[in-house]
Amino acid sequence: MALADVFDALISVRVYKPAMSFEQARAIIVEGRGGHFDPDVADAFVAIFDEFRAIAGHYRDDETAGTA
């Protein structure tokens, strides 16, 4: 769940930052593989990244999400 939470936080607008693109968020998660994120979980995320992107795109709030 931590990886999904970080992905959502990165692609969402916050009062202290703009939203990142899906690709930028993916790169940050890949960089955290083996450190912040379990390697198996990060690998699974990469394997189904297009599904993460589709779900996030479907549920995003246009007022709080950036262009992704």
Interatomic CA distance for residues 62 and 45, integer angstroms: 24
Per-residue pLDDT band for 59 (boundaries 50, 70, 90) equals confident
Q: Where are the domains of the chain?
A: 2-59
CB 45 within 8 A of CB 52: yes
Each residue's pLDDT tens digit, 13-28: 999 999 999 999 999 9
pLDDT, position 63 = 53
pTM as predicted: 0.82
